[in-house]
Structure formats: structure tokens, C-alpha cells
Amino acid sequence: MKKSHLIHCAWALVAAAAFAIGNRSSDNPASAENDSGNSRNSTSTTPSSRSKDDPKGSGRRSSSRSVSTSSSPDSEPTILSEAGVRQLGLDLKSAKGPLERRKVFSQILANLTVENAKLMREQILILDSDSSEFREFHYAWGAIAGEEAVFNGSETPERDMASTLAGWAAKSPEAALAYFNGLDKDAQKGGGLKWGAIYGLVDADPNLAVRFAMDQQAAGDREATRLMDLVTRQVLKSGDPADAASWASTLPAGEMQDAAISRVAREYADEDPVATLDWANTLPEGNGKNRAVRESFSEWAQADPQAAATRLGSMNESPERDSATYGYATRVAWENPQTGIEWANTITDENSRNRAIQETGRIFFRKDPEAAKQWLSNSGLNEKQQADITRRRSRG
């Protein structure tokens, strides 16, 4: 495989989320209005407006696979001639403004077939290979051509393999999984393929994506929890946090479930911290539960600090109370650093207490350096801990 570079970050795939075939959200970039653009584009690139003898188009009908959509469910996609495909490329190049460009690009997707995909790809090479449109094209190609599209990506210099595999995995998940699992370990790491696989699998079935993430963990992939985090974020986008919480609760216990619970708790608590706490209390003991409790009290401290403090005061000493106190202390510290520090000091677990004191101390130092220095002199923290609090950090 010629490509050796990696796509280390999920940002390369997040943009792809908006262009799944049969998109499920109104902000999908593929849903740009078809009525935008000038009249030249609407006449020169619409296949149905050309006669059979038009050298820039073709009236031929075919059963070839295509991503074209039609107002009639029984109609077949129009197949463009080579001249028609090249005209789309010229129209894309000369398009003025994002709406006109989007209109032409939508026609490229609508007329994409297995047979013309390579020629169509030549027409979009004017696009930045990091653009959402470039990835969208390859996602669409992967959805209709599968391994052929992924293989083509292995022979090109641009970063397109992840998106083509994502499209394939969304359309034919088992086949795409079999392909990925058949690669050697080095090949699986190249071209961002695992990220393409996980994103496409989420589109097809989140449970398949969970299985993939767990398989990666079993194989020793240190990024497996990040893969699970991506799955969880996509699940959160598809429904309300309460539904996502129910989903996370059914996952097999362990590190991967903890990662999912942590992400869900962050979103759920932002919406309803009390409901999040009620959910957290149903979870098995462990890091996931502790993180959910921490997130709920962090958000509750902002929404209703007095009610949260009252609830804290009624809790017995336990890992859950330590987590709750950590979340509460580090949030109220932004309003009243000394109150936050006082709460942090009530945490029973020494490691958690020190981390909470340092975090609230950093907030204190950022808000009032002189007062924080006075507190530090009598804080009981060692020199290393004090240095951690007063060290300036980049906000970049």
C-alpha cells in the first residue's frame, strides 16, 4: 500500500458525518438547494435537459449503481457521457460562490456511478483534499463501489481512503469489516482506515461499531477508547441523552463502557444534572459511575449550587461522594475559589483530593494571583504541587 500517512484525528471523519447517503439531518451539506446557481449551470449540467445527440450528455438509461436520487422511485439514473462528466468538471471550476459550486457538486454526486467514478474524481481534484466535499465524494464512491474505491485510494496521493472505507462500511458493513480484518496490522494503521471503518459502522449500526472498537481494544490498540468515544458522540447525535444513557448502560462492563458513560454523562448532565445523577446511581460501581456522578454535580453546581450542596451534605463517605465533591468543587471555584477549595479538602481519597485542590487552586490563581499566593503559603501542598498551580499554561 503506497499510502503511509495516518489520519490521527477524528476531525477528518467528523465532517464526513454530514454526507452519508440517505442523510439523516437537515444540516447535511449534500442537502444544498437545487435551485441555486445561474442558468448556464442549470442547463449545461442537467442530464435530463439534453437530447441523445447532445455531445455533452447522454439520454441513455442504465441499471448501473449510482447515487442519483429521483422524484420517481421507478426511474433509473441517467448515465452521462464522458463529455458530460467533463462538462461538470468545467462547471465546478467556473462556479461563482458556494451556492453555485454546491449545486454543481450535488449534480456530480447525483450522477456518480461505478463506471464513471474515476473520471468524476478527476473533475473534483480542484477541491482541497481536506474539504468536506472531497471527503463526501469519496464516501459516496465507497458506498457504491466498495473495495474498488478503497483500492483506488491506495494508489493516489490524497487522503481519501478513510472516507471511501467509511462509505463502504455504512452501506455494506460486514463486507467492509472483512476487508479491514484481512489487512495486515501496518495496513490497518495507514490512511486512517480504522477511523473510516468506525465512522461508517456507526452509520450502519452502532452495535457493530461497538464490536469493532472492542475488537481493536483486544488487539492492543491504545486508541480504542477514542474509537468508542466517536461511537458514543454519534449515538448522542441520533437521539436524546436519556436514550444514549440507556444504550451505554447495556454495554459490556469494562473500560469501553466507562468511556461511553463518561461521554454520555457530559452531554446528559448539561441538559439535566439531576436526571443524570439518578441514572448514575443505577450504574455498577466503577470509573464510569464515578465520572457520571462527577459530571452531574459539576453541572448541578452551576444550575443550582445550593441544592447540589444540600445533596452533597446528605451523602455518606464513598467513592461516589468523592466524585460528586470533585465535580462540585471544581465548578463553584469559578465563582468562589475559596469555597471550591474548602469542598475539595473534604474529599476522602488522597489522590482525588490532591487533584481537586490543585485544580481549584489553579482557578484561584488565575482569578486572583495575590490572594492565591497567600493561600498557598499555608495550604500544606508540597513545592511540586504549588509549582503546578502557579505555572502559567498556554490557552492555545
Check: CB of residue 74 under 8 Å from CB of residue 102.
Answer: no
Q: What is the pLDDT along the chain (396 residues), one digit of tens a residue?
A: 444 333 333 333 333 333 333 333 333 333 333 333 333 333 333 333 333 333 333 333 343 455 543 334 445 656 899 999 999 999 999 999 999 999 999 999 999 999 999 999 999 999 999 999 999 999 999 999 999 999 999 889 998 999 999 999 999 999 999 999 999 988 888 778 999 999 999 999 999 999 999 999 999 999 999 999 999 999 999 888 999 999 999 999 898 999 999 999 999 999 999 999 999 999 988 899 999 999 999 999 999 999 999 999 999 999 999 999 999 999 999 999 999 999 999 999 999 999 999 999 999 999 999 999 999 988 888 889 899 999 865 444
Question: Residues near 108 by Cβ (< 8 Å), separated by ≥ 6?
Answer: 88, 92, 120, 123, 124, 137
User: Is the model's pTM score more than 0.75?
Assistant: no
DSSP type of residue 45: S
Measured between its terminal Cα atoms, the distance across the chain in Å is 36
Q: What is the pLDDT of residue 14?
A: 36
Q: What is the pLDDT of residue 216?
A: 93
Determine phi and psi for 78, rounding to 5 degrees. -80, 135
